[in-house]
Amino acid sequence: MLNTVFRRDEPANEPVKAFAPGSPERESLAARLAEMSNETVEIPCIVGGEEVRTGDVVDVTAPHDHSKLICRWHRADAETLHKAVQASQEAWKDWSNQPPHVRMSVLEKAANLLAGPWRDTVNAATMLGQSKTCHQAEIDSACELIDFYRLNSWMALTKIYTEQPTSTPDTWNYVDHRPLEGFVMAITPFNFTSIAGNLPTAPALMGNVVLWKPSKGSMLSNYYVMKLLEEAGFPPGVINFVPNSPKAMADSVFGSEHFSGLHFTGSTGVFQKIWLQTAENLAKYRTYPRIVGETGGKDFIFVHESADLDALVVAALRGAYEFQGQKCSAASRMYVPDTLWPAFRDRLVAEIEKIKMGDPADFSNFMCAVIDKWAYQDITGYVDKAKAGAKILTGGGYSDDQGWFVEPTLVECEDPRFVTMEEEIFGPVLSVYVYKADDMEGALDLCDTTSPYALTGAVFSQDRGMAEYIGKRLRQAAGNFYINDKPTGAVVNQQPFGGARASGTDDKAGGPQNLVRWIAPRSVKENFLPPKDWRYPFMD
Ligand code: NAD
């Protein structure tokens, strides 16, 4: 036991590299990307520190190039998952008893490995496997993940472990922030390497053991993150990497008495299915499982007549089309007053038509491909519906010849509840409803009630009092709200992220609100002078 109370100063956010032409970071990333483009990585499951090859192999090609086979992954079957549960329970005995500074130091090392020797590899894998530009890869798989690792570690120490109850002169009270008894299942989405890398490690930081099911759409980058975590020093069995199909989890994971938490990010429908599955097994579990889910969105920009058009055009374009609109926070519906509409429309269309789309290896591209065939079919289905039932102002084209490419598409909807104003599309489609400037109240009601989601939203208004009013009217419509900024790009420790309504449990990734879900606090009272007489004075 060490005679110290650890101190950690608040870490700064990881600076974003610019990749400007001629910069050393650009050269180094381009070289690593070229090297990795010629590889096909075989990805095993990793259970209790051992590689497991089930032989049930799935091939993955780059979204922007069908001819590029980037990896082949082994699908975990029910037996492998069962072994992973056992391995996690074995690892729990030691890991759950390690002091905070040991767990923190492993995560801090992971942050440093990612900021240094692993940065190009994880960025290049994200570009290749998820079809992100260098900038989108950098803000996701490098900066945000480094921030999660450093800041979660700092938050655990300063905002959880050191938060203690009051004591009195004759008693000493404290809380032991125990890990959960059992294992946490981390199920991660394709769109952010940072989320995938954070969902297993946030519970592990708090002393838990984890099974991690990555998405088939981000297998390459997620595998490299797992290798990095091993190098950082997570002991075998603390995080088990088990890519699988959902069916295999039914008994081995959700039917296990040791299931104690779900850390999920993905679509609303899948989250609801899993929650019901766990509810059906409730009586089997040794402890009530913590259910944390960040899910879909139908994120809005609400425009007031006083909006600055230059800023609005940039926010709409970046908010809607970066990473092909495949961000849970992507702007996908706008409410614009008729007084501003003609000028705004013409400028936005002109800028959208300048967007270049293609392979992320060409650094001049602003957009790349959507993730896979299923996403392509889904998104183009909405584009076709818009062609039939609304007005496409620009875009509307798509092609799967080389990869899964969908043009940035702007739709004007006469019906404010048209399907593209209401449902999550998860692609580069922005729908606009033009409201009468003298009926802003009606437009605010529409914005608040048109979709079941409440993830992100923005208001553009140079009239600050009006921005405040609109923010109040839309208070429950978004968990992350922006004033004169795009609704994407939340930064760890600056804008803790998550939404309510159908968008999730709002446990705020990148904030202590999330970390407290992974502990089962034990209150301890020590009495220095326990009473020696059972009788009370009033009885005399
Ligand atoms: P998805 O729901 O299709 O998949 C998410 C994960 O769940 C994947 O690992 C997938 O394999 C797994 N899965 C699918 N069906 C399952 C089942 N029946 N049982 C158990 N697991 C199952 O989502 P996606 O396409 O990977 O990601 C896009 C979605 O994620 C969008 O809806 C987006 O809004 C949401 N998202 C939300 C946030 C947020 O913070 N709110 C962040 C990123 C993405």
Q: Map out the domains of the chain with their CATH numbers.
A: 87-295+504-522 (3.40.605.10), 299-483 (3.40.309.10)
Residue 1 has pLDDT above 80, yes or no: no
Tell which atom from ligand 1 comes closest to the C-alpha of 294: 41
Residue 456 β-bridge partners: 480
Distance 215 CA to ligand 1 centre (A): 8
Q: How far is the CA of 436 from the centre of ligand 1 (A)?
A: 37
Element spanning 294, H or E: strand 290-294
Contact 456, 479 (CB under 8 A): yes
Q: Could you report the per-residue pLDDT of 66-113, keeping only the tens digit for each?
A: 999 999 999 999 999 999 999 999 999 999 999 999 999 999 999 999
User: What pLDDT, on the 0 to 100 scale, is given for residue 351?
Assistant: 98
Nearest atom within ligand 1 for CA of residue 271: 2
Cα angle for residues 419, 423, 427 (degrees, 5° grid)? 105
189 CA to middle of ligand 1, Å? 5
What is the average per-residue pLDDT within 117-140? 98
**Residues facing 179 on adjacent strands:** 519
CA 394 – CA 303 distance, rounded (Å) = 20
Burial of 66 (0-12, 13-18, 19+ CB in 10 A): middle
Round to whole Å and give the CA distance between 499 and 442: 24
Reference 212, options 193, 186, 238, 192; nearest CA is 186
Rounded-to-integer distance, Cα 311 and Cα 319, Å? 12
**Which residue out of 223, 271, 292, 295 has the highest number of ligand 1 atoms within 8 Å of its CB and is therefore the one to mutate?**
295
Tracing tokens 């938050």 back to the chain, one arrives at 155
Taking the centre of ligand 1 as the mean of its atom positions, its distance from the CA of residue 216, in whole angstroms, is: 11
In angstroms, the first-to-last Cα distance of the chain is 49
Strands, sheet with 456-460, edge to edge from the N-terminal-most edge strand: 391-394, 409-412, 429-435, 331-337, 299-303, 456-460, 480-483
What does the pLDDT average to over 175-183?
98
Which atom of ligand 1 is found nearest the CA of 192?
43
- Burial class (CB within 10 angstroms; exposed 0-12, middle 13-18, buried 19+) of 476: exposed
Q: Which of 267, 274, 326 has most ligand 1 atoms within 8 Å of its beta carbon, as the pocket-test mutant?
A: 267
CA 268 – ligand 1 centroid, Å: 8
Which atom of ligand 1 sits closest to the CA of residue 218?
26
Other Cβ atoms closer than 10 A to 509? 26
What is the DSSP secondary-structure string of 208-263?
-EEEEE--GGGHHHHHHHHHHHHHHTPPTTTEEE--B-GGGHHHHTTT-TTEEEEE
Inter-axis angle of helices 145-155 and 100-115, nearest 10? 160
Residue 306 has pLDDT above 90, yes or no: yes
Helix 119-130 / helix 219-232 crossing angle, nearest 10 deg: 160
Residue 521 makes CB contacts below 8 A (sequence gap 6+) with 175, 176, 177, 178
Residues in the ligand 1 pocket, defined by CB under 6 Å: 187-192, 195, 213, 215, 246, 249, 265-267, 270, 273-274, 294-297, 328, 424, 426, 455, 497-498, 503-504
| 370 contacts: CB under 8 Å, gap ≥ 6 | 63, 131, 324, 326, 376, 379, 404, 405, 406, 427, 428
Mutation test of ligand 1: which of 132, 193, 270, 492 has the most ligand atoms closer than 8 Å to its C-beta? 270
Please state, in angstroms and rounded to a whole number, the distance separating the CA atoms of residues 316 and 319: 5
The answer to whether 447 is a known catalytic residue is no
User: Using one digit for the tens of pLDDT, what is the confidence trace for 186-238?
Assistant: 999 999 999 999 999 999 999 999 999 999 999 999 999 999 999 999 999 99
Q: Do the beta carbons of residue 519 and residue 175 sit within 8 Å? A: no
For atom 8 of ligand 1, the residue with the nearest CA is: 215
Active site residue 368: no
In whole angstroms, give the CA distance from residue 186 to residue 292.
10
pLDDT average, residue stretch 302-318: 98
Give the pLDDT mean for 230-256: 97
What tokens were used for 402?
A: 């080389």
119-130 vs 24-37: helix crossing angle, rounded to 10: 60
The catalytic residue among 14, 108, 138, 294 is 294
Per-residue 3-state assignment (H helix, E strand, C coil) for 6-74: CCCCCCCCCCCCCCCCCCHHHHHHHHHHHHHHCCCEEECEEECCEEECCCCEEEEEECCEEEEEEEEEE
User: Which residues, listed in sequence order, are joined to residue 483 by a DSSP beta bridge?
Assistant: 459
Share of the chain above pLDDT 90, in %: 99
Q: How far is the CA of 190 from the centre of ligand 1 (A)?
A: 7
Residue 213 alpha carbon, nearest atom of ligand 1 = 9
Q: What is the pTM of this model?
A: 0.98
Take atom 9 of ligand 1 and give the residue whose Cα is closest: 215
pLDDT at 510: 86
Residue nearest to atom 11 of ligand 1 (CA): 215
| pLDDT grade for 140, boundaries at 50, 70 and 90 | very high
Compute, in angstroms, the gap from residue 119 CA to the centroid of ligand 1.
25
Residue with CA at minimum distance from ligand 1 atom 17: 246
Q: Are 110 and 42 in contact (CB under 8 A)?
A: no
The string of pLDDT tens digits covering residues 397-415 is 999 999 999 999 999 999 9
N residues, the chain: 540
- Out of 71, 328, 413, 447, the active site residue is 328
Q: In the prediction, which pLDDT does 192 show? A: 98
The single residue listed with the structure tokens 């979660």 is 152
What is the 266 CA–ligand 1 centroid distance (Å)? 2
Q: Determine the residue of 191, 247, 277, 326 to mutate for testing ligand 1's pocket, defined as the one with the most ligand atoms within 8 A of the Cβ atom.
A: 191
As a whole number, mean pLDDT of residues 6-31 equals 97
Vertex 105, ends 104 and 110: CA angle to 5°?
100
Please report the pLDDT score of residue 367 as a whole number.
98
d(CA 408, CA 228): 35
Cα(313) to ligand 1 centroid in Å equals 30
Residue nearest to atom 40 of ligand 1 (CA): 294
- Protein residue whose Cα sits closest to atom 30 of ligand 1: 266
